Chains A and B, each alone.
Chain A
Amino acid sequence: MHSFGYRLNTVLTFALLLLAVLCGAASFLDAFNSPLSASSSYVQANAQVVKVNRFRRQLNGADEVSLTFNVSLDMKRLFTWNTKQVFVFLAAEYETPKNALNQISLWDHIILDKDQAMFQTKVTTKYPLIDQGSNLRGRKVDLILHWHVMPKTGRMIRDKLRLSDFHLPEAYT
């Protein structure tokens, strides 16, 4: 501590160390309010397929589906003082003879604020459901809602919730 530069360096380094501790403490305290394991009980959501817009076979032999569905979400309880945003996406899951599990993201959304976390919309698939092959006729498809809670500091929490399922038509439209 014998010179100006030395003292300045010490202050800044110690301040930076305490900043790291502060961020760790903020992240840790946050975990008390929204326990990691019960995250899915904090979310209420529903999604129903309204209409199959298009169901065709592409030139390369893959099936392609475009849907319209109603989504209603209530994710207010996921937001704490340490939450930066919540990334939500709806995934379609189904089984084919070729793959035991197929997961395809149909629609996603970024929620920046607690006020924006409750809404209902009617929306078409942002990303079409494209199969590896042509196994979709008459297939049962589950709709699963996934969310990533991104904090300002700390660990990202990922969770999901199974919403509903539907059957694709037997023939192409």
Chain B
Amino acid sequence: MVVIKKSRYGDQELGLPRFARVSFSSLRSAQMDWQGQKRAEIVMQFMLVVFAIAGLGIGYTIGSFPTMMLTYAGGVVITALITVPNWPFFNRHPSKWLDPSEAERHPKPHLNVAAASKKKAPKHK
């Protein structure tokens, strides 16, 4: 179950300059869109594996165990900074939910009781 939390008041309350409000507005939303989620997962796995291999390679050739650990730890932090917050480039394909007033004009079809198939009502605020 997925819940969209959207602020009612816009971004003025953040006190950011206008360009930041526009481009980083996605940071305040808890929800990443579907394509963004897929992208975030792929980027995360790829970056972590790359940093692990790089750490092992550098540590082994230099012959220093702490170097390997520090390289890897730095890689984990960079990966977390890139994939965890809800950056704008993860929100390029927002889901198009129906406008509430539009949804009211197309009421839920009346189902035959004998058919007994359950349908979830579309969520809207």
Chain A residues in the interface with B (C-beta under 8 A): 1-4, 7-8, 10-12, 14-15, 18-19, 21-22, 25-26, 29, 80-82, 152
Contacts and interface: CB of A to CB of B under 8 A. Distances in A.
Contacts of B86: 4
A2 B72 contact: no
Contacts of B56: 22, 25-26
Interface of B: 2, 30-32, 37-38, 40-41, 44-45, 48-49, 52, 55-56, 59-60, 63-65, 68, 72, 76, 79-80, 83-86
A15 B76 contact: yes
A12 B80 CA distance: 8
Given A22-B55, A81-B63, A3 B83 contact: no
A25 B72 CA distance: 14
Select the residue from B45, B60, B84 with max chain A CB neighbours within 10 A. Answer: B84
A4 B85 CA distance: 6
B82 to A, nearest CB: 10
A10 B64 contact: no
B84 to A, nearest CB: 5
Contact of B48 (A18, A25, A82): A18
17 contacts: A1-B40, A1-B41, A2-B32, A2-B37, A3-B31, A4-B84, A8-B80, A11-B80, A11-B83, A12-B76, A18-B48, A18-B52, A18-B72, A22-B52, A22-B68, A81-B63, A152-B65
